[in-house]
Amino acid sequence: MASQLKITPLEKWLPVSAQPLVIAGPCSAENERQVMETAVGLAEIPQVRVFRSGIWKPRTRPGSFEGVGAKGLKWLQKVKAETGLLTTVEVANPRHVEEAIDHGIDILWIGARSVVNPFSVQEIGEAIAGHDIPVMVKNPLNPDLKTWLGAIERLNSLGLEKIIAVHRGFSFFNHTPYRNAPMWEIPIELKSLCPDLPILVDPSHICGNRERLLPTIQKALDLEMNGMMIETHINPAAALTDKNQQITPEQLAKILSEIILRRETGNLEFSNKLEELRSEIDKLDEELIEILARRMNVVEEIGHFKKVNKITILQLKRWNKLLRDRVEAGIKLGLSREFIMSLLQSVHEEGIQRQIEVMNRPDSD
Ligand code: PEP
Ligand code: MN
């Protein structure tokens, strides 16, 4: 599924003076005062470069607050003029795109509910095409890498190259401590398919509460994500949307002071040592694979021998004893019982499969 995206490097269009890149602001713009006070608080934090705010709010059920609409765009213009922060809003249709661009919004984002629908993505993408405006693409609600990647590819094929992916977690039927399960393997896979694509974490929508924000951000940064989009409100308790997950600008500053920025690579001595250890691992893996292949050859030989002597494949007594002995030996060498058991189990399954093949093979002699 390798992808051939053409992406403009983030630092070319959104250089930052303090790491990591932070996009912050309320879930929703509610009134001019709330927007301005939040923005003034955020502008004091060096890492905050962009002010976010929902203007048109996609709500699960109608009847609740659905955003202030286009009049909020004027407040964002004021934020930009008075604080120097760049601004970003969610767009869900071509009209939103036009209005946001008319009001000088700097970056647009496509929300999780729109990304699931390729028709919407196409329409929004066509409205953006021709304007040199960057776009952030949240992951779809459902844990499906192809839909996320597909939306990004669709925008890219319309000529948009300033793209950021935003990881906001996935709706998941199993109960998890998160509002949206992070399923980190999905953004990791996206990064490995598209190494040039910047990815931000949205810890607010992943967590759904304030308590887990710090470890979630730390994990994302340790996975080499480029920064975050985080919901911030001057008075979270009074927020009209997502009140449980919003934090004040002061709380954001505190979280940012607590995160640890680890480097991708260290100094030369570190890199050399790492390289040495990695080549040792490569060599050991090579040996391990060779040993497994040799073991399977012996297993096949036993299969052949059993076939000639009309003996059954699975000999439970022998298997149980082998398992006991190996687990004991493994534990002595510091391996965990679970690990050695699951390893042997899968080696055993493959061995049985190989013997079945031997049994079914027509005799050549
Ligand atoms: C938001 O960022 O306010 C939002 C609605 O997010 P999502 O599309 O990820 O649910
Ligand atoms: Mn929200």
- The verdict on residue 4 lying in a domain is no
Q: What is the mean pLDDT of residues 110-125?
A: 97
Specify the residue with its C-alpha closest to ligand 1, atom 6. 111
pLDDT digits (tens, 9 = 90+) for 130-173: 899 999 999 999 999 999 999 999 999 999 999 999 999 999 87
| Confidence (pLDDT) at 260 | 95
The answer, yes or no, to whether any atom of ligand 1 lies below 6 A from the CB of 54, is yes
Q: What confidence tier does 326 reach under pLDDT thresholds 50, 70, 90? A: very high
| 205 and 278 belong to one structural domain | no
Contact between 115 and 139 (Cβ < 8 Å)? yes
- Ligand 1 site, residue 111, Cβ cutoff 6 A: yes
pLDDT at residue 67 in the model? 95
Please, what is the Cα angle at 196 between 193 and 197, to 5 degrees? 80
CA count, 13 A, side-chain hemisphere, 5? 29
Same domain? 299 vs 350: yes
Phi, psi dihedrals of residue 315, rounded to the nearest 5° = -115, 95
Q: Mean pLDDT throughout 225-252?
A: 97
Residue 364's pLDDT is 60
Rounded distance from Cα 28 to ligand 1 centre (Å): 10
Q: How many domains are there within the chain?
A: 2
In a domain, 349, yes or no: yes
- Report the pLDDT value the prediction gives residue 232, as an integer from 0 to 100: 98
**Do 326 and 193 belong together in one domain?**
no
Task: Tell me, yes or no, whether 241 and 143 share the same domain.
Answer: yes
Residue 324 resides in a domain: yes
- Shared-domain flag, residues 194 and 131: yes
Give the pLDDT confidence of 50-81 residue by residue, as tens digits: 999 999 997 777 888 899 999 999 999 999 99
Report the pLDDT averaged over residues 227-241. 97
Using a 6 Å cutoff on CB, does residue 233 contact ligand 1? Answer: no
| Ion ligand 2: residues, Cβ under 5 Å | 27, 242
Which of 200 and 312 is assigned the larger pLDDT? Answer: 200
Minimal CA–CA distance to 163: which of 121, 203, 205?
Answer: 121
Residue 314 structural domain: 268-360
Of 198, 230, 258, the position where a domain reaches its end is 258
Would 34 be classed as within a structural domain? yes
Q: Distance of alpha carbon 295 from its chain centroid, rounded?
A: 39
Residue at which a domain ends, from 258, 293, 322 = 258
pLDDT single digits (tens) 289-321: 999 999 999 999 998 988 889 888 778 888 899
Evaluate: CB of 26 within 6 angstroms of ligand 1.
no
Instruction: Decide: 112 in ligand 1 pocket, CB within 6 A.
Output: yes
Per-residue pLDDT, averaged over 179-202, amounts to 95
Q: Give domain status of residue 344, yes or no.
A: yes
Distance of alpha carbon 217 from alpha carbon 260, whole angstroms: 10
Residue 138: CB within 6 Å of ligand 1? yes
Q: Which ligand is nearest to the CA of 245?
A: 2
Ligand 1 contact, 206 CB (< 6 A): no
Tell me: pLDDT of 43 over 80: yes
Please report, for residues 74, 100, 115, 200, the alpha-carbon distance to residue 96 in angstroms, rounded to integers and kept in the order given: 14, 6, 15, 23
Ligand nearest to the CA of 92: 1
Predicted TM-score (pTM) of this structure: 0.77
Residue ending a domain, choose from 208, 237, 258: 258
